[in-house]
Structure 1
Amino acid sequence: MIRTVLRLDILPGHADHLVEAFRGAEILETSFAQDGCLSTEIAIAEDGLEAIVTATWDDVDAYARWTSRTDRGSSAELLNPHLREPLDASRVGLVYDVAHRPSA
């Protein structure tokens, strides 16, 4: 299992708008529906200036299937007005191996 982390720098006062853009475009829902995605979420820093988009995946192949989708970059135009640096389809998150996870 892997966890991916994509860090986003948010323009001041745009955190709520960024989350609404994610909701409106159903970005997290679309990634969660991707085969091999186990969880996904967006978290906003307390100061509202940074977000992390994290997900857990079965393996790097599952994440690669997501990042290679031809439609993946289509939501950038909805997100970029709220970000300090524009996104495009080539930007991917850092990949971490999940080393330990307690079972329920």
Structure 2
Amino acid sequence: MNIPANQIVHHIEEKFASLKKGLESGDEKTVRECATAIEAYCQLLKGAQQQVQTRQEPIMHPQAYPTSSPQPSSQPLIVNQPSAQEEDEKRNLLDF
């Protein structure tokens, strides 16, 4: 949502005027509502500024640098097959 900052500031000024009137009349509800609205508008402005800053910052792409240390070579995996005698010993009586 792109709302011009000037428009947000205009709304803040309107709420600030209402806040002053609420303070003069002693209306606590109006004071709280206006203060909350002003706070929300300020957060909206801060968020818009952060979005602009992130758009302006250049994106840094990671670069791959060659390593000087040798890479470990993969060694073949050796699987020991059990002998026929070991298989006979491991069999269960219920295996058919």
- Normalising by structure 2, we get a TM-score of 0.26
The structure richer in strand per residue is 1
More helix by share: 2
The higher-RCO structure (CA 8 Å, 6+ apart) is 1
Larger Rg: 2
